Amino acid sequence: MARDRIIDPGALSARLVLEQPAETPDGQGGVTQGFSALATLWARIEPVSARAEETAGALPVTVTHRIWLRRRSDLAGGMRLRKGGRLFALHGFRDPDETGRYTLCDCEEIKP
């Protein structure tokens, strides 16, 4: 993104829940892997690509997105974003214009 492009804060119109990995004891000495809500935030979702690859006779589609957030310093690998029933796995994130105002996340939509 060019430094001279101004991001309109009003474009952050999607309400998302940031989720982090969480382990819950299963009562038998092990744990169950899941997710817990960390924060609710406003974001902008931009579809990037959709790719279909034939696998074992099925044709799963991989959909990627760019998701804009206000700057966050607590993002880490393994986190995801939720919008209702839609889930977005965070694959990478960065400060797009190095001003410390926003975080741009590269995400893949995953099927629950």
Q: Name the nearest CA neighbour of 44 among 80, 2, 8, 93.
A: 8
Taking the whole predicted model, whether its pTM rises above 0.85 is answered as no
Task: Name the residue ranges covered by the structural domains of the chain.
Answer: 10-110
pLDDT 10s per residue in the chain (112 long)? Answer: 444 456 777 889 999 999 999 998 888 888 999 999 999 999 999 999 988 776 666 667 789 999 999 999 999 999 999 999 999 999 999 999 888 999 999 999 998 7
Cα separation, 62 vs 9, whole angstroms = 29
10-110 CATH, one of 1.20.1560.10, 3.50.50.60, 3.20.20.140, 2.40.10.270: 2.40.10.270
Cα separation, 100 vs 94, whole angstroms = 10
